Structure 1
């Protein structure tokens, strides 16, 4: 996909496109089309990806008075989201819509401090009309959703929107796993696709699919796993004390 976009000369800074959520010609037009949708207009609190092609959407959201949440790069902190409240940013909205500006101006919060999220904006490398999505391969967008789902900030009905170039919309099947987040709305500069996806959104973190090195690198995941383990142990002790059958720990990987 990256090579196709480059061959067709539709990529924009930053370069190279390979390994990134590719910025594309027409990103602003796609953002304007997305902003005309009722799902966007109703939303007051958004979680947005930090990549270049969705910068116009982040800026538009802030200018419209919407609160925007962005993830800390690689979810490297316990407070792994940044809250951008336009009421507190004053004239710094343009800076706040950038990756560096958000890191400087955003307020770090935990997943539990997100509150209800009305709409998710995701970047994509490729999608199809059935709602399947491919990111840049790190899995961070899926983990962000899983953390927000466990914190009850999002649910199965939360709308996920992506903006892409028309070349990024494939006719082919895209393999999806239980931890992959499907998209409900695909917006190009020319059209809107309502996927009515049959793919289920993840119910939480798929622990069995997390490599140990990633778990150790992310305090928010490591600490959450410890809390889950303590809760299960406490439940088992309480059941034993009451003479009930102990609650069997959920198998590793259960949501």
Structure 2
């Protein structure tokens, strides 16, 4: 492959740059595009940038910094998103003896939506942690669970594209993280004291006004970059469970188990 051909394969299409979920919030769309463009222009990206939780130089440093916090030491069960910049987080958790819960990317298409990685069981089976820490490897080697069967979570790690020091966050635009956290609250898997954290490149930390916090938004308690650890100390309580009025029809269509889980949750609340 020639250099020019290789370069052309790395150029994002206009469709990719607009984002798979563009159109739900114009301000967030513009902010995500700005972040992705700046990451690409700076050369601090690792691999593709657009329309994803993109990887970046220093993700391993941020994971180490996260592991030095008290909230990490206190956690035995860590939920972590499946994206590339959080591979070092999942890997460090396994080496530190923690159980890792990872969603199947975009909750899958019909299999159970969660993977459980038990470091003791992985060692017993001779599975390398480096394999299990990747999203593809995790899906191959870890047992699958439903939302209802997950253990209680001590630390929730989210993938983000932009964050603020006030605890605001936005991901790639699909709404998976906020929906996930709402379901956790409805099912008693997290409570008001469960830390919600992310690891991001320092360029992804933006001014508070760029990312207004809505009533239904889950707030970050910690932001960890390759340069610093930021305790956000958000004002006010976290939201409750899922606000079903805000779930889009396309989310019910694309997340195969969502309607059935909604019915179970509402029935339990009504009983």
| TM-score, reference length from structure 2 | 0.80
Selected match of 1:43 from 75, 82, 106: 75
Separation in structure 1 between the aligned mates of residue 236 and residue 87 of structure 2, nearest angstrom: 27
Separation in structure 2 between the aligned mates of residue 26 and residue 145 of structure 1, nearest angstrom: 26
Separation in structure 2 between the aligned mates of residue 153 and residue 33 of structure 1, nearest angstrom: 26
Separation in structure 2 between the aligned mates of residue 44 and residue 5 of structure 1, nearest angstrom: 33
Question: How far did residue 165 of structure 1 move?
Answer: 1.1
**Residue of structure 1 in register with 2:147 after alignment:** 111
Superposition RMSD on alpha carbons, in Å?
A: 1.8
Establish whether residue 94 from structure 1 lines up as the match of residue 127 from structure 2: no
Q: Structure 1 residues 171-180 or 182-191, which shifts more?
A: 171-180
Structure number with bigger Rg: 1
- Write out per-residue CA displacement over residues 76-109 of structure 1, whole angstroms, 9 at most, x where no aligned residue: 4473211111111124211110010011112111
Structure 1's 150 and 10: CA in aligned 2 closer, same or farther, altered over 3 A? same
Establish whether residue 81 from structure 1 lines up as the match of residue 114 from structure 2: yes
Does the 8 A contact of 1:120 with 1:161 survive in 2? yes
Q: Is there any run of 5+ residues in structure 1 with no aligned partner, and where?
A: 236-255
Q: Is there any run of 5+ residues in structure 2 with no aligned partner, and where?
A: 1-34
| TM-score, reference length from structure 1 | 0.85
Does the 8 A contact of 1:78 with 1:218 survive in 2? no
Separation in structure 2 between the aligned mates of residue 59 and residue 206 of structure 1, nearest angstrom: 33
**Residue of structure 2 in register with 1:142 after alignment:** 178
Question: How far did residue 199 of structure 1 move?
Answer: 5.2
Selected match of 1:185 from 181, 205, 222: 222
Structure 1's 198 and 78: CA in aligned 2 closer, same or farther, altered over 3 A? farther
Question: How far did residue 119 of structure 1 move?
Answer: 0.3
3-state secondary structure, aligned to 1:111: coil
Does the 8 A contact of 2:187 with 2:265 survive in 1? no
